[in-house]
Amino acid sequence: MTDPWQECMDLCVEVAHRAGKVIREALQEDIAVMEKSSPVDLVTKTDQAVEQLIISSIKAKYPSHSFIGEESVAAGEPSILTDNPTWIIDPVDGTTNFVHRFPFVSVSIGFTVNKEVEFGIVYSCVEDKMYTARRGKGAFCNGQPIKVSGQEDITKSLVLTEMGFKKDPVHFDTLMANIRSILSIPVHGIRSPGSAAVNMCLVACGSADAYYHIGIHCWDMAGGAAVVTEAGGVIMDISGGPFDVMSRRLIVASSKAIAERIAKEVTVFPCGRDDADS
């Protein structure tokens, strides 16, 4: 008996490889940069072209499936998660990295059924690392099994987050105060690679012990959520409650102890929801 979701995943990996090739080729050319919501919210023609490539390739085989894509939502499409099989796509996760040719740039695709993540892939295309995970079947990087570090002592941990300009000065101050709080525990250090999906995979393969973020989107999180969960990691809401892919916030960690300590240290600021207008 054929496994329909495995067929979907196989297509997903194939399309991600093709998308990654487009991104790598674009890095050799002049990059025209446009702004979305602010001078630091960037988009390029490559983001748009890669998303079109991914969606058209998948729709050709699965026309009844639903799609949530970063650039489609930016163009006015709704961000609604239903029980229907749904592809959640970030064509270029790490656009600012891409613009500056900083090497952590990824294609991130999560696939949900009945609102649950069934599988996810993250292709760090400059590194040529394909992270894959299917629910209940483990996590892999280029076909080799990966697992989290298992670290339970936050004082021996390397923590990832992202920092950038916030228009609301209170939110900006809270963002910086949270970094100070985590560093003061103390931890071994904080790093900001610039791609949420890659950050989650770095925790999944044991290169970092935790990652937290407020203000990202479902397309940043869906693919990596599958990978880190199947690698034995913990994923939860920034408040310590259950993870919600539409919530725009998360903690992932190598252990529950570290995740809960970060939730205790971090002050939450409002960031809305991806499905707020649905």
- Which CATH number fits the domain that encloses residue 118? 3.30.540.10
3-state secondary structure 225-246: HHHHHHCCCEEECCCCCECCCC
Does the residue 206 lie in any domain? yes
> Domain range spanning residue 248?
154-265
Query: For 102-135, what is each residue's pLDDT tens digit?
Result: 999 999 999 999 999 999 999 999 999 999 999 9
Q: Tell me, yes or no, whether 36 and 78 share the same domain.
A: yes
209 CB-side CA count, 13 A: 23
| Residues 132, 121: Cα–Cα separation, whole Å | 4
Q: Tell me, yes or no, whether 38 and 75 share the same domain.
A: yes
Residue type for position 272: G
| Residues 47, 34: Cα–Cα separation, whole Å | 11
Q: Tell me, yes or no, whether 137 and 55 share the same domain.
A: yes
Q: Tell me, yes or no, whether 97 and 34 share the same domain.
A: yes
Q: Looking at the 3D structure of the chain, how many domains does it have?
A: 2
Average pLDDT, the chain: 95
Q: Tell me, yes or no, whether 103 and 131 share the same domain.
A: yes
What pLDDT was estimated at residue 30?
A: 86
Residues 102 and 191: beta-carbon distance below 8 Å: no
148 CB-side CA count, 13 A: 31
Residues 238 and 271: beta-carbon distance below 8 Å: no
Task: Check whether 257 has a pLDDT greater than 90.
Answer: yes
Residue where a domain terminates, one of 110, 145, 180:
145
Does the residue 88 lie in any domain? yes
Higher pLDDT, residue 116 or 2: 116
Phi then psi for residue 8, to 5 deg, are -65, -45
Q: Tell me, yes or no, whether 115 and 162 share the same domain.
A: no
What pTM did the predictor assign?
Answer: 0.96
Task: Check whether 278 has a pLDDT greater than 60.
Answer: no
Per-residue pLDDT, averaged over 85-94, amounts to 97
Q: Tell me, yes or no, whether 129 and 193 share the same domain.
A: no
| Residues 1, 200: Cα–Cα separation, whole Å | 33
Higher pLDDT, residue 1 or 224: 224
Q: Tell me, yes or no, whether 136 and 8 share the same domain.
A: yes
C-alpha closest to that of 225 among 145, 133, 113: 133
Residues 6+ away with beta carbon under 8 Å from 60? none
Q: Tell me, yes or no, whether 207 and 233 share the same domain.
A: yes
As given in the structure block, the two tokens for residue 187 are: 């931890």
What pLDDT was estimated at residue 277?
A: 64
Does the residue 275 lie in any domain? no
What pLDDT was estimated at residue 1?
A: 57
